[in-house]
Amino acid sequence: AQSVTQLDSHVSVSEGTPVLLRCNYSSSYSPSLFWYVQHPNKGLQLLLKYTSAATLVKGINGFEAEFKKSETSFHLTKPSAHMSDAAEYFCVVSDGPSNTGKLIFGQGTTLQVKP
Amino acid sequence: GAGVSQSPSNKVTEKGKDVELRCDPISGHTALYWYRQSLGQGLEFLIYFQGNSAPDKSGLPSDRFSAERTGGSVSTLTIQRTQQEDSAVYLCASSLVGGIQETQYFGPGTRLLVL
C-alpha cells in the first residue's frame, strides 16, 4: 500500500535560515509525489510535484524537493525562510494502484519561522 | 479564473440531523474529489468522481455518507444522522482529468461542527 511519513510534526527555524521538511514514502509503483501547503484558515495550495521526470523539482516561493528512490525520500527544502512561510506542509503520494489520482496525505509538518 | 468553491463555509448542526455540503469545481475539470480533514485522522480521501464513470466510494467511512455529482459539475456530499465524530473540515478538489499525475486544486473547505 502507498503511504507517506513526515518525520517531523513541528519544525522551527529563524528567518533567513534554511528549511528542511522531511518526507519518506512507501510505494510499490512509480509514485507521483506532491507537497502542499496550508496557511491558517486557507485552502491547500500545491507547492510542487514529482511525476517521474527530473528528480529535482522546483516549486513556488523558492521551495524545491528532490526525489531519491534509493532512500524513498522526497524532502522539501528552501535556502532562506521567510516569515510568510509559516504554515502547515503536507507530503502527499498519489494512489498508484487505483490510478484515480486519489491522494494519500502525510500527517503534516507545522513550520514555525521566528524573527 | 475561478477556483473551486464550497458552501457553506461553516456549518453547525445538532447530532442526528442531516447536512448537505456543496462543491463547485473548476469549469472544465472532469475529476472531482472529496476529502476530510480532522484532528484525529488527518487528511483522508472520501470519494472520487470522473466523468460518467461509477464513483470510487472506497473512502466513505459509513453508509451515512453519500455523494452525487449532477451534470458532471456540481457535487453534493450528504451526511445523514450526523454524529460528533463527523466534525471536521470537508475539502473538495478538482482536476482536469483523473490520474496519478494530475494536479488537484482544492477549495477552501466547509467546517462542520456537530453538537
> Do the chains contact at B100 and A99, CB–CB below 8 Å?
yes
Give residue limits of the domains in chain B. Answer: 5-114
The verdict on a CB contact (< 8 Å) between B42 and A107 is: yes
B5-114: CATH, from 2.40.128.20, 1.10.10.10, 3.20.20.70, 2.60.40.10: 2.60.40.10
B95 vs A45, A101, A107: nearest CB: A101
How many CB atoms neighbour CB A52 within 10 A? Answer: 12
Contact assessment for residue B111 and residue B21, using Cβ atoms and an 8 Å cutoff:
no
Predicted pLDDT at A21: 98
Q: How many domains does chain A have?
A: 1
Q: Is the dihedral of CA B98, B100, B104, B110 positive or negative?
A: positive
Whether the predicted pLDDT of B98 surpasses 90: no
Please determine, for residue B78, whether its predicted confidence score (pLDDT) is greater than 80: yes
Contact A101 B45 (CB under 8 A): no
Q: d(Cα A79, Cα B88) in Å, to the nearest integer?
A: 35
Q: Is residue A93 pLDDT above 60, yes or no?
A: yes
Label residue A91 by pLDDT band (50, 70, 90): very high
For residue range A33-50, what is the model confidence (pLDDT) as tens digits?
A: 999 999 987 889 999 999
- Contact assignment for A105 to B107 by CB distance below 8 Å: no
Q: Do B56 and A108 touch (CB under 8 A)?
A: no
> What is chain A's mean pLDDT, rounded?
92
pLDDT higher than 60, residue B1: no
Q: What distance in Å separates residue A99's CA from the closest CA in chain B?
A: 5
Mean pLDDT score across all residues of chain B: 93
Nearest by CB to A102, from B48, B101, B103: name it.
B48
Quick one: pLDDT at residue A41?
78
| Share above pLDDT 90 across residues of chain A, in percent, rounded to a whole number | 77
Please tell me the distance from the alpha carbon of residue B31 to that of residue B20, in angstroms, as a whole number: 20
Domain that holds residue A108: 3-51+60-114
Quick check: A32 and B101 CB within 8 A? yes
Q: Which residue of B has its CA nearest to A43?
A: B108
| Chain B hits for A105, Cβ within 8 Å | 35, 42-44
Residue of chain B with shortest Cα separation from A3: B44
**Residue A91 bridge partners (DSSP):** A35
What CATH number does residue A90 fall under? 2.60.40.10
The pLDDT value given to residue A29: 79
Identify the residue among B9, B43, B110 best suited for mutation to test binding to A, counting A beta carbons within 10 A and taking the highest. B43
Q: B112 vs A85, B48, B61, CA distance in Å?
A: 27, 20, 16
